[in-house]
Amino acid sequence: MASIHECDLPGIGRKFQIQTRSGDKLVVVVHDDGRREMYHFSPDDPERSVSVVTLDDEEARAVAGILGGLTYRPRTLEDVEITFDEMVVEWYKVGPEAAAVGKTIGELDVRQSTGATVIAIIEPDHTKKLNPGPEQVISEGSTLLVMGDRKHVEAVKKLILAGR
């Protein structure tokens, strides 16, 4: 895990300093007016900035979505979790051992029994089903995008594995 330190910058905003596993140093300054500045430092001289990028609020959110995997999910990534305050959105790949394979979302009573919601399904052939209804069948190899608080999302995983 990367090392992240943060501190307030009175009258400016907040500073986040990230030391990555690969040794890179990245500083992100979030200004109170919504601007973000990202500084990348030289591995040879950790006090010398190699580059700086300034983003407005909309651009920063777009970059966050890209980095967080909202617009593209690498094929090697099986499980991803994104947290919005108390809400979690997690990708969950349905394996061959899952007892829920062949059952519908309605049969499993996902929302009522777990408190979480399946917001999308990506089929093995890469077709996407947004906001699937209760008639949607769970297929082996599908990736479910599940939203809820952490314990509800975990309950969906258990439900998919157990099938009840």
The string of pLDDT tens digits covering residues 58-90 is 888 888 877 876 666 655 545 555 556 677 888
Query: Most distant CA pair in the chain: distance in Å?
Result: 59
> Are 52 and 19 members of one domain?
yes
Would you give the distance in Å from CA 149 to the centre of its chain? 13
Q: What was the pLDDT predicted at 98? A: 92
Instruction: Please say which residue of 35, 67, 99 terminates a domain.
Output: 67
Which of the four pLDDT bands, split at 50, 70 and 90, describes residue 48? confident
Q: What is the DSSP letter of 163?
A: -
Range of the domain at 135: 80-162
Tally the domains of the chain: 2
> Are 86 and 49 members of one domain?
no
For residue 78, which amino acid is it? E
Summarize the confidence of residues 153-159 as an average pLDDT: 91
User: How far apart (Å, rounded) are the C-alpha atoms in residues 20 and 1?
Assistant: 8
Instruction: Please say which residue of 67, 95, 112 terminates a domain.
Output: 67
> Are 100 and 52 members of one domain?
no
pTM of the model: 0.51
> Are 55 and 94 members of one domain?
no
- Lowest average pLDDT, out of 52-56, 73-77, 87-91, 112-116, goes to 73-77
Kindly report the CATH number assigned to the domain that includes residue 124.
3.30.70.1450
Please name which of 67, 3, 61, 5 lies closest in space to residue 34, comparing C-alpha atoms.
Answer: 61
User: How far apart (Å, rounded) are the C-alpha atoms in residues 87 and 109?
Assistant: 20
User: How far apart (Å, rounded) are the C-alpha atoms in residues 19 and 41?
Assistant: 10
> Are 84 and 62 members of one domain?
no
Q: What is the mean pLDDT of the chain?
A: 85
Would residue 120 count as lying in a domain? yes
